[in-house]
Amino acid sequence: MENNFRERIIDLLKSKTDGLTILDVANSLDANRSTITKYIYELSGAGIIVQRKIGTAKLCFIAKYVKKREK
């Protein structure tokens, strides 16, 4: 089940290149926010996901898409 959440989060963020909050991800995947937070931090640590603070929100992006936008 754990790998399933990781894959689902990655697939979701690939389809939402404008970024999503952790709560948005949890709602989209019909999962608990704290569970999603755990996986987001794991994926962030692995360099797969980048979190950016935009205003009061912290948005999650796939790292390779962020690098492409910055060039």
Q: Is 10 exposed, middle or buried (0-12, 13-18, 19+ CB in 10 A)?
A: middle
Task: Give residue 35's identity as a one-letter amino acid code.
Answer: T
**pLDDT in single tens digits along all 71 residues of the chain:** 556 999 999 999 999 989 999 999 999 999 999 999 999 999 999 999 999 998 999 999 999 866 555 54
Question: Does pTM top 0.95 for this prediction?
Answer: no
Sketch out the chain's domains with CATH numbers: 2-70 (1.10.10.10)
Per-position DSSP letters for 21-35, written without gaps between them: -HHHHHHHTT--HHH
Determine the pLDDT at residue 27: 97
12 vs 43: CA distance, rounded Å: 13
Taking only Cα atoms into account, the Rg of the chain, rounded to an integer number of angstroms, comes to: 11
| Sole residue written with tokens 């689902």 | 8
